[in-house]
C-alpha cells in the first residue's frame, strides 16, 4: 500500500463522513414529517427541500461562537472534536465490498471499532462538565451512566459474531458469513442494534438530552459550529451503528447480485437500518432513567449471554 | 492510525544499532516522552477533572506505544477498557462528588512526598529490571507477532491457568461489589415510585421539595390510559 493509495482511502472515508450523515439527516426530516402527517422542509433548494441541511449548516456557521463566562474554555472548545472524530476514524475500518474495498483492514477490527466509538463518550462528558451549567452536568452524568450500562451488551453481542466467524477482522467476518447466520445471530443483532441506539442517545434512549427536563443535556451551552459538530456526530453515529449492524449481523456485501455490486448491498442495508432508527424515534416515547437502566441490565445483558451460549453450542456442534 | 504506520514502512531488523534508530523507534521515544509528560501533569495539576483528562492522554499514548510494538490487539483492548470504561467511570465519580471548574484547593494530599518516593522507587526497580533482563537482546517485531491470533494462541495454550485464575478473581470482586452495594443485607432499597422523577430536590435550591403535580415529563403519563375507558364505553352505546 503506497502513500497515494492511503491518502485516497482517507479522502474517500472523509467524503462519506461528510455526505452520508447529511443524507440520513434529510431523510429523518422528511420521514418523520410524513409519519406525523406533515410535509417537512419544502422550500430550501426547490425540490422537496433537499437543501435544508445545507442551509442549516450555513446558518450554524454564521452564528456567534459563545463560550460561557464560567466555563472551562479549553475543555469546552475541545469537546465537540473529541466527540466527532472517533466516528470518522471508525469509518475507515468498515468494509464496504469484497476484495479490499475497505479504508484499512484492521486485524482486530471489531475491537478497534468498539474501542474507538467508546472514546466519543469522553467528549460528551467533557462538554457536560466544562459548560458550568447544572443541566449540562446532569446530561453528562446521564450520558456516562447510560454508556457504561449499554457498552457491555454491545460488546457481548459483537463477541458472539466473532465467535461464530472465528476472527476479529471485519472483512474476515464477512468472508466467513453464511446465510443461516441471520437467524442464528438474530438475538445478538437485536441486542447490538438496541445498545447502539442507546449509545447514540437516540430516542427512545434520549434521557441524556431530554429537552423537556434538562434543556439539551450536555449541549445546552453550545452554539454555532460547535453545536453543529455535536449534531453531526449524532448522525455520523447512526451511520456507523447501522453499517456495523449490517456488516456483523446482516451479511454486509452478501446478496443475490454478483460480488462486484457488493458495495450496493452494504449501502442498502445500512440505509434500511438508518430508516429503522428514524422510525423508532417517531414510534416510541422516551424511557425514564430507571427504566433505561433496568432494560440494559435485566433484558439486554441476559439476552446477550443467551446468544453467546447459543453461538458456542452451535459452533461446537457444526465444527 | 495504523494506516500511517503502514505508510511509514516495514520494521527493518537489519539496522540493529542504538545510534542509528529507525523512524518507528524515534516515534516510539517521542510518544513515550509525551506519555511521561502527560502522566506528570495528571498527578501535579490542581484541577481535578483536568487530571482525569490528562490521564486520557497518557493512556491513549500507551495504546499508541503498543501499536508501535505491533501488539495491535492489546492496543485496542487498552483503548476499550481504560479510555472507554475506566476513565469514564473516574469522570463519572468526579462529577457525582465534587468537580469544580478551576482549582480545587484541597487537591494536594499530605502524602505527596511519600507518594513521590514510592513512585520513584517503583520506576527505578522496573527500569533496572527491564534493562537487566533485555540488556542488548534484539526482539524482531516481525509481521503478525502481536496479532490477535498470536495473542490468543499464547493466552489459551500456555497461559490458560493464570487466565482462568484471574477470571475467578474478577468474578469474586464482582460478587463482592454486588454484596457491598446491597447495603450489608439490611433489606433492599425502597422501589422508586412509578411515574415520578426520583430526584427529591431540585438542583441548586436546597431544602425545597419538588411540587408533586409538575414532577416531570411523566406527569402526563396517565393520559394514554384515559381514552381507553372512554373507548371501551362507547361501543355499547352505539349498539
- Please provide the DSSP assignment of A35-75 as one string: HTT-----STTSSTTTTHHHHHHHHHHHS-----TTS-HHH
d(CA A260, CA B195): 54
Residue B12's pLDDT is what? 45
Residue B209's pLDDT is what? 47
- What percent of chain A stands above pLDDT 70? 99
- What percent of chain B stands above pLDDT 90? 13
Nearest in space to A275 (alpha carbons), one of A18, A19, A17, A30: A30
Among B84, B92, B101, select the one facing A115 at the smallest CB separation: B84
Does residue A129 sit at the B interface (CB-CB below 8 Å)? Answer: yes
Q: For residue A45, is it within any domain?
A: no
Q: For residue A28, is it within any domain?
A: no
d(CA A235, CA A24): 7
Q: CB–CB of A6 and B3 under 8 A?
A: yes
B61, pLDDT greater than 70: yes
Banded model confidence at residue A217, pLDDT cuts 50, 70, 90: confident
Q: CB–CB of A71 and B101 under 8 A?
A: yes
Does residue A218 sit at the B interface (CB-CB below 8 Å)? Answer: no
Q: Is residue A198 a contact partner of residue A296, using CB atoms and an 8 Å limit? A: yes
Q: For residue A241, is it within any domain?
A: yes
Q: Is residue A208 a contact partner of residue A136, using CB atoms and an 8 Å limit? A: no
Banded model confidence at residue B169, pLDDT cuts 50, 70, 90: very high
Residue B187's pLDDT is what? 52
From A110, which residue of chain B is nearest by alpha-carbon distance?
A: B76
Among A10, A108, A114, select the one facing B148 at the smallest CB separation: A108
Q: For residue A12, is it within any domain?
A: no
Determine the length of chain B.
Answer: 239
Stretch among A48-57, A82-91, B16-25, B83-92 having the lowest mean pLDDT: B16-25
Q: Is the model's pTM score more than 0.80?
A: no
Residue B175's pLDDT is what? 92
Residue B215's pLDDT is what? 44
B54, pLDDT greater than 80: yes
d(CA B47, CA B194): 39
Residue B192's pLDDT is what? 55
Q: Domain of A113?
A: 57-318
Using a CB-CB cut-off of 8 Å, the residues of chain A touching B148 are 107-108, 111, 167-169
d(CA A307, CA A155): 12
Write down the CATH number for the domain with range B2-7+20-107: 1.20.120.1200
Determine the length of chain A.
Answer: 319
Query: Once rounded to an integer, what is the mean pLDDT over residues B49-72?
Result: 86
How far is residue B152 from each of residues A29, A305, B147, B148, B155, measured CA to CA in Å? 46, 21, 8, 6, 5
- Of residues A103 and A196, more confidence is placed in A196
Does residue A137 sit at the B interface (CB-CB below 8 Å)? Answer: yes
Q: For residue A16, is it within any domain?
A: no
Q: Is residue B101 a contact partner of residue A70, using CB atoms and an 8 Å limit? A: yes
User: Which residue in A74, A83, A111 has the most chain B C-beta atoms within 10 A of its own C-beta, making it the best mutation to test that interface?
Assistant: A111
Please provide the DSSP assignment of B71-97 as one string. -HHHHHHHIIIIIIIIHHHHHHHHHHS
Q: How many CB pairs under 8 A join A and B?
A: 119
The CA distance from B120 to the nearest CA of chain A, in Å, is 30
Residue B219's pLDDT is what? 42
A173, pLDDT greater than 60: yes
Q: For residue A5, is it within any domain?
A: no
Using a CB-CB cut-off of 8 Å, the residues of chain A touching B98 are none
Q: Identify the residue whose cell numbers are 462519506.
A: A16
Domains in chain A: how many in total? 1
Banded model confidence at residue B16, pLDDT cuts 50, 70, 90: low
Would the ipTM clear 0.90, i.e. be above it?
A: no
Residue B232's pLDDT is what? 41
What torsion, rounded to 10 degrees, do the Cα atoms A266, A268, A270, A276 define?
-150
Q: Summarize pLDDT for B214-231 with one digit per residue, the tens.
A: 444 444 444 444 444 444
Amino acid at each position: 500500500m503506497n502513500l497515494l493509495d492511503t491518502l485516497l482511502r482517507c479522502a474517500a472515508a472523509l467524503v462519506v463522513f461528510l455526505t452520508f450523515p447529511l443524507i440520513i439527516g434529510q431523510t429523518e426530516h422528511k420521514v418523520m414529517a410524513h409519519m406525523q402527517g406533515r410535509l417537512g422542509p419544502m422550500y430550501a433548494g426547490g425540490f422537496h427541500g433537499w437543501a435544508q441541511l445545507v442551509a442549516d449548516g450555513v446558518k450554524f456557521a454564521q452564528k456567534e461562537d459563545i463560550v460561557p463566562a464560567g466555563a472551562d474554555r479549553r475543555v469546552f472548545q475541545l469537546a465537540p472534536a473529541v466527540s466527532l472524530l472517533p466516528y470518522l476514524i471508525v469509518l475507515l475500518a468498515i468494509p464496504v465490498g469484497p476484495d479490499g474495498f475497505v479504508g484499512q483492514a484492521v486485524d482486530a477490527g471489531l475491537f478497534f471499532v468498539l474501542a474507538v466509538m467508546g472514546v466519543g463518550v469522553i467528549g460528551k462528558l467533557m462538554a457536560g462538565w466544562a459548560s458550568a451549567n447544572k443541566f449540562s452536568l446532569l446530561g453528562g452524568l446521564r450520558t456516562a451512566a447510560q454508556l457504561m450500562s449499554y457498552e457491555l451488551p454491545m460488546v457481548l453481542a459483537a463477541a458472539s459474531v466473532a465467535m461464530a466467524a472465528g476472527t476479529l477482522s471485519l472483512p474476515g467476518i464477512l468472508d466467513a458469513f453464511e446465510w443461516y447466520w441471520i437467524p442464528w445471530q438474530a438475538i445478538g443483532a437485536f441486542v447490538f442494534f438496541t445498545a447502539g441506539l442507546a449509545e447514540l442517545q437516540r430516542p427512545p434512549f434520549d434521557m441524556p438530552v431530554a429537552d423537556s427536563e434538562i434543556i439539551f443535556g450536555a449541549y445546552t451551552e453550545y452554539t454555532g459550529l460547535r453545536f453543529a459538530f455535536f449534531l453531526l456526530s449524532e448522525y455520523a453515529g447512526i451511520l456507523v451503528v447501522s453499517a456495523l449492524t449490517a456488516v456483523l449481523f446482516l451479511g454486509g456485501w452478501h446478496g443475490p447480485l454478483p460480488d462486484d455490486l457488493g458495495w450496493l448491498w452494504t449501502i442498502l442495508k445500512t440505509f434500511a437500518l438508518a430508516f429503522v432508527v428514524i422510525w423508532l424515534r417517531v414510534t416510541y416515547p422516551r424511557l425514564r432513567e430507571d427504566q433505561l437502566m433496568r432494560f440494559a441490565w435485566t433484558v439486554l445483558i441476559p439476552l446477550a449471554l443467551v446468544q453467546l451460549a447459543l453461538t458456542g453450542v452451535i459452533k461446537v456442534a457444526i465444527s | 492510525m495504523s494506516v500511517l504506520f503502514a505508510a511509514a514502512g516495514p520494521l527493518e531488523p537489519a539496522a540493529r544499532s542504538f545510534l542509528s534508530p529507525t523512524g518507528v523507534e524515534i516515534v516510539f521515544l517521542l510518544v513515550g516522552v509525551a506519555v511521561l509528560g502527560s502522566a506528570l501533569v495528571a498527578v501535579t495539576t490542581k484541577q481535578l477533572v483536568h487530571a482525569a483528562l490528562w490521564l486520557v492522554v497518557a493512556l491513549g499514548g500507551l495504546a499508541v506505544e503498543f501499536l508501535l510494538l505491533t501488539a495491535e490487539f492489546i492496543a485496542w483492548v487498552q483503548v476499550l477498557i481504560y479510555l472507554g470504561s475506566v476513565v469514564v467511570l473516574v469522570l463519572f465519580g468526579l462529577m457525582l462528588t465534587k468537580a469544580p471548574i478551576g482549582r480545587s484547593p484541597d487537591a494536594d494530599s499530605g502524602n505527596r512526598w511519600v507518594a513521590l518516593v514510592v513512585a520513584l522507587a517503583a520506576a527505578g526497580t522496573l527500569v533496572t529490571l527491564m534493562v537487566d533482563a533485555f540488556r542488548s537482546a534484539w526482539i524482531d517485531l516481525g509481521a503478525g507477532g502481536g496479532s490477535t491470533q498470536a495473542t490468543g494462541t499464547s493466552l489459551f495454550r500456555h497461559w490458560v491457568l493464570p487466565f482462568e485464575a484471574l477470571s475467578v478473581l474478577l468474578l469474586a470482586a464482582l460478587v463482592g461489589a454486588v454484596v457491598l452495594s446491597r447495603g450489608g443485607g439490611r433489606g433492599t432499597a425502597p422501589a422508586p415510585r412509578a411515574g415520578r422523577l426520583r430526584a427529591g430536590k431540585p438542583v441548586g435550591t436546597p431544602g425545597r421539595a419538588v411540587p408533586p403535580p409538575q414532577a416531570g415529563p411523566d406527569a402526563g403519563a396517565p393520559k394514554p390510559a384515559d381514552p381507553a375507558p372512554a373507548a371501551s364505553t362507547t361501543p355499547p352505546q352505539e349498539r
